[in-house]
Chain A
């Protein structure tokens, strides 16, 4: 009898402890949530002015999206606005988005977009400039929101005055950046040290380094994207063309006439393709960014000139065989000694056809606020940050600073000094890139010389631009 009573007491005590623990945990969570909400309530706007409205956000399947989703309940609690979202893989996302925007259905209230995408969406007036919301004191407390905290180059990349062939950094703000990428060289420092290979400072040296890695370590010396479409051009390769020509060459001139057959670009392209044929992956023509990143992470490649933020995968010991073994450097500069990397930001914008524009702005404002972007980076690994304050936060610096023993932060900060959107603004950027990538295939498979392939690409692009009326 006594034994049974003792057991019951024990059970009651344990139950109380569990319950007490749960209550404490819930209280801490509630206090934390309330403290986050209190931060937002410091803004001198009424967050609940559109309570009861509903938003549908169009999202691409991307690490940023993963970082945003757990934070959305906070926005709902703050504003009383219900948020629904549709997440699709990149190609499907853009196909769905273009259908929604072109028909002006307004299914998506806020969208994931970016500078080059805005050139297509802004020309026919499918998306809204955000300045009107940013400058409306009823909707935005600018002193609290601190738009000046964004890296100026990244905000500039999302401005465009609508002028085909130029005009970035000027005119309306079409979207607000939420993550950014520039292009750097990730290399296997352990192998470079072991085989005494020099970190390349020219593209000829890069080809030589790739050759030596392949010869000594028996793995692919260089990795690069290679599918016959725009992504193959858009990162390491286009940054290489711009650097090799000291940032003075553009793929189209001021009259929108294609200039891919420029002798300097032909020469660079020849070096790039020869390097890939000799020391790159056998299936280069089939490599996506993901394949390249996976191969490098699996320790099967010596160099990968591509997105800087892939470092978070390289440096994750649970996913990577090369964690702690990767070095980071700028892409080789041109004769003038400077690297001109391309730049891309994912950003949030707004469809013109959306009904709940003001509520959509509250969402964009909340999602791009200092606190939300900080939480997305610190808690959910959204790299690279677009706000100076998030980049300089000790927790961000601790993570980024550990990659490549500090080389990552140093390289990215140096890169961002000259990095810029690599493409000339025009709504046909995607098609131009596709034709360009097909030219690289012609060269790689020796169906045409580099010069002839680029000349043919120029002809094809010029014909299309003329048909559409883009050429002056």
Chain B
């Protein structure tokens, strides 16, 4: 029997699926590990005790609540992300405004700003760890000694370790925030500024009532990226403090790593990771809602 060639109508019906197939494959590639993670978080899965494996519903999540470090790491994760985002976006805005003005060497500074972005976070952390040595051999303490200050016990004491992680993280990510906001500043329309100049508005007034509102979508976008990254910060903490001293820098991601890859208790590790995922999802969902509204307002 002869096969009939597919009719033009059939081909038309199939074409969208054909065109979509790479995207669908990609989606499948993303969703499969996600659902596997959800599944493992509901099991008693230890890598080295396969005989213990069974489905235990939400028992891992209940165990989380018993874990003395869960509430601590949750608090640290949230408060770190909040402070990091507020300060880094604030500083990033200041740097972006500075780089948008006519200062000498602006091009060179903009080029140099890219350098921290090129470095893997682990290398950044190890580099800073050397500079933050608690003795005068550490370059930061050496520099502080000229001002009659220090030596500071950067990574060896509980409070200073949190600040040090924040400094390392900010050094690595501030340029990213600044570049997003600088791009935003350069894309703003010139008409409102010209009208403000005609009306004799002050520099602060222009910034407060024109620049900031127009820049709002960019600020929210930068904040969204930073919230997501700060909630799941790992490399810097692992390389610089391993979550110490005395758990001072222990966050949810570190805890998930310890469970899954140090103690091979994958079920609990995945439960920690799922809590973190929910936090990241919620934070980015709320912020993207703000972003959408701000984008609509500024385009009106």
Chain A residues closer than 8 Å to B151, beta-carbon distance: 282
Chain B residues closer than 8 Å to A124, beta-carbon distance: 48-50
Instruction: Flag if B243 contacts A228 (CB, 8 Å).
Output: yes
Q: Which residue of B lies closest to A280 (CB)?
A: B156
- Interface: B135 (CB within 8 A): yes
List CB contacts (< 8 Å) of A106-163 with chain B: 120-121, 123-124
Instruction: Flag if B247 contacts A282 (CB, 8 Å).
Output: no
- Stretch from A65-73, A200-208, A361-369, A427-435 at the B interface: A427-435
Given A102-B47, A468-B52 in contact, is the A285-B261 Cβ separation under 8 Å? no
Chain A residues closer than 8 Å to B155, beta-carbon distance: 283, 286
Bound-state CA distance A283–B150 (Å) is: 14
Total residues of chain B contacting the partner, CB 8 A: 33
List CB contacts (< 8 Å) of A256-299 with chain B: 281-286, 295, 298
- Interface: A229 (CB within 8 A): yes
With both chains docked as a complex, state the minimum distance between the C-beta of B83 and any C-beta of chain A, in angstroms: 22
Quick one: which of B52, B135, B154, B161 has the most chain A CB within 10 A?
B135
Instruction: Flag if A441 contacts B156 (CB, 8 Å).
Output: no
Bound-state CA distance A295–B241 (Å) is: 18
The residue from B47, B135, B244, B261 contacting A286, defined by CB atoms under 8 A apart: B244
List CB contacts (< 8 Å) of A334-358 with chain B: none
The residue from B154, B242, B263 contacting A431, defined by CB atoms under 8 A apart: B263
List CB contacts (< 8 Å) of A438-472 with chain B: 438, 441-442, 444-445, 447, 460, 468-469
Instruction: Flag if B156 contacts A300 (CB, 8 Å).
Output: no
- Interface: B262 (CB within 8 A): yes
Bound-state CA distance A285–B134 (Å) is: 11
- Interface: A98 (CB within 8 A): yes
Instruction: Flag if A441 contacts B246 (CB, 8 Å).
Output: yes
Chain A residues closer than 8 Å to B247, beta-carbon distance: 228, 438, 441
Bound-state CA distance A300–B133 (Å) is: 12
Instruction: Flag if A285 contacts B264 (CB, 8 Å).
Output: no
Instruction: Flag if A445 contacts B47 (CB, 8 Å).
Output: no
Instruction: Flag if B262 contacts A281 (CB, 8 Å).
Output: no
- Interface: A1 (CB within 8 A): no
List CB contacts (< 8 Å) of A413-439 with chain B: 427-428, 430-431, 434, 438
Chain B residues closer than 8 Å to A123, beta-carbon distance: 48-49
With both chains docked as a complex, state the minimum distance between the C-beta of A293 and any C-beta of chain B, in angstroms: 14
- Interface: A95 (CB within 8 A): yes
- Interface: B158 (CB within 8 A): yes
Chain B residues closer than 8 Å to A284, beta-carbon distance: 156
Chain B residues closer than 8 Å to A281, beta-carbon distance: 134-135, 156
- Interface: B28 (CB within 8 A): no
Given A286-B245, A445-B246 in contact, is the A430-B156 Cβ separation under 8 Å? no
- Interface: A227 (CB within 8 A): yes
- Interface: B137 (CB within 8 A): yes
Bound-state CA distance A444–B137 (Å) is: 24
- Interface: B46 (CB within 8 A): yes
Chain B residues closer than 8 Å to A102, beta-carbon distance: 47-48, 264
Chain B residues closer than 8 Å to A468, beta-carbon distance: 46, 49, 52
Q: Which residue of A lies closest to B67 (CB)?
A: A460
Bound-state CA distance A34–B157 (Å) is: 58
Instruction: Flag if B48 contacts A300 (CB, 8 Å).
Output: no
Instruction: Flag if A283 contacts B153 (CB, 8 Å).
Output: yes
Bound-state CA distance A210–B171 (Å) is: 37
Known: A124-B50, A286-B129, A300-B135. 18 other contacts (CB 8 A): A102-B47, A121-B48, A123-B48, A124-B49, A227-B242, A228-B242, A229-B242, A283-B133, A283-B155, A285-B156, A285-B157, A286-B156, A286-B241, A434-B262, A438-B244, A445-B158, A445-B245, A447-B246
Binding site for A on B (CB under 8 A): 46-50, 52, 68, 129, 133-135, 137, 151, 153-158, 161, 240-247, 258, 261-264
Query: Can you name 20 A-B pairs with beta carbons within 8 Å?
Result: A95-B261, A98-B264, A120-B48, A123-B48, A124-B48, A227-B244, A228-B243, A228-B247, A281-B135, A282-B156, A283-B153, A283-B157, A286-B155, A298-B137, A427-B48, A431-B263, A434-B258, A434-B262, A441-B246, A445-B246
For the complex of A and B, list the 6 residue pairs with the smallest distance between their C-beta atoms, beginning with the closest: A283-B156, A285-B245, A228-B244, A283-B134, A282-B134, A441-B246
